[in-house]
Structure 1
């Protein structure tokens, strides 16, 4: 996979490069800030962009704003955002305005190499990965969605694991059930949430947004029907 890194911390940036290269990925660019980011994406055509949330010069929301800007030009570009802490407003903005593959992880997750590389693969292949701590905090502040009352406890558990970005196989392993059973649960979740084939956006992402109480903007780009 061709990966572009935008991270101001030189030790973390170089550590990510080494880790990714050892995992047989190609790092096409490693930038210390967002200057030239758009040009690098245009010229290098990466398969995935890894961005820090806080970047120079203000160390506030440069990474999030850069991610949203990339989405406007490359709607399906997989983006993985790294953050030192859970920043709910930034996470919510990015999730709500992103139709393509997305990851939002705390930097502590990088220390678990296997888990981090799994997240890279998941986002790079078009999936969504949210740090469990991000999910937990967003759930604590979510608005009540009455459609969720229709879900069985098993379906809610599947949806929560989906919100963490787990694949059907990973959900099956965690719940000690078959992948076929997971697919049936997900189909029921889609049906009860009113997410039919042809709905605007990826149904898996829309289901997660409903679970987290994040409102999808009316002008969200159509990312295709999405399957279970």
Structure 2
């Protein structure tokens, strides 16, 4: 699996490169700014990309804009954002793209190598991988209709869906049956006026797209 990394911190970028290589990934390029990242994506056509939000020259939002530009050039290009903070506005902007293959993890909260590489593979496969803190902030604020129609349990299920978990994992996390989870998901789609599809990552993207309206 070929990876392109956009990270200006030399130590972190080098550490990621060594880590991924030890886990069977092929790091095609390590770049330090948005323009170099775009060139690397065009050249190597990676299976998945790791992008920091803040890149030179202003260290504000260059990474997100580069990721958006790359996905515009290559629709559905898998991107995992690895940031120090929850950049709520930028997360919404990126996750509003319905193409799939998106993730947003926080650097300080990645505690297990296996969880990180699993998330990277899930994004590469077209799924989602969102840190719970990112999900919490996306769901924060006044409850707009029809989000306000959801019960507390349905919001819990929605948050776990957004993190990229399947029904089995959600059932285990909430200590309920899979049938109960399936029923909650059906209620969520009904209350959000979304198609009642329970088909993998697209259900997550549909919910996030709705939240980003």
Fold in common (TM above 0.5): yes
Gaps of 5+ in 2: none
- Superposed displacement of residue 132, structure 1: 1.6
Q: Is residue 4–residue 49 contact of structure 2 (8 Å, CA) maintained in 1?
A: yes
1-structure distance, mates of 2:18, 2:110: 12
Deviation at 1:48, TM superposition (A): 0.5
Q: What displacement does 1:180 show?
A: 4.8
Question: What secondary structure, in the 3-state scheme, does the structure 2 residue paired with 1:202 have?
Answer: helix
CA RMSD, 1 decimal = 2.3
Q: Judging changes above 3 Å, is the alpha-carbon distance between structure 1 residues 168 and 20 closer, same or farther for their aligned structure 2 residues?
A: farther
Write out aligned runs for 1:206-217 (5 A): 206-210=206-210, 213-215=211-213
Q: Normalized against structure 2, the TM-score is what?
A: 0.87
1:146 is aligned to 2:111: no
Contact 1:75 1:100 in 2 (8 A): no
Helix, strand or coil at the partner of 1:121? helix
Q: TM (normalized to structure 1)?
A: 0.81
Count of equivalent residues: 210
**For the residues of structure 1 that align with 2:148 and 2:8, how far apart are their CA atoms?**
44
Whether 1:123 and 2:123 are equivalent positions in the alignment is yes
Q: What's 1:60 paired with?
A: 60
Paired residues of 1:79 and 1:102 also in contact (CA < 8 A)? yes
Distance 2:13 2:84 in 1: 14
Alpha-carbon displacement from aligned partner over 1:83-130 (angstroms, at most 9, x marks no partner): 111222212222224532211111113342222122112212211222
Could you say what secondary structure the match of 1:104 adopts?
strand
Partner in structure 1 of residue 21 of structure 2: 21
SS at match of 1:75: coil
Unaligned runs of 5+ residues in structure 1 are 216-228
Q: Residue 218 of structure 1 corresponds to which residue in structure 2? A: none
Q: Do the aligned partners of 1:159 and 1:208 also contact (CA within 8 Å) in 2?
A: no
In terms of mean alpha carbon deviation, does 35-44 or 149-158 score higher? 149-158
Q: Distance in 2 between matches of 1:22 and 1:172?
A: 33
Show CA shifts across 1:115-155 (max 9, x none): 212211221221122222222223333x5332234434433
Report SS of the residue matched to 2:13. helix
Stretch moving more, 94-103 or 64-73 = 94-103
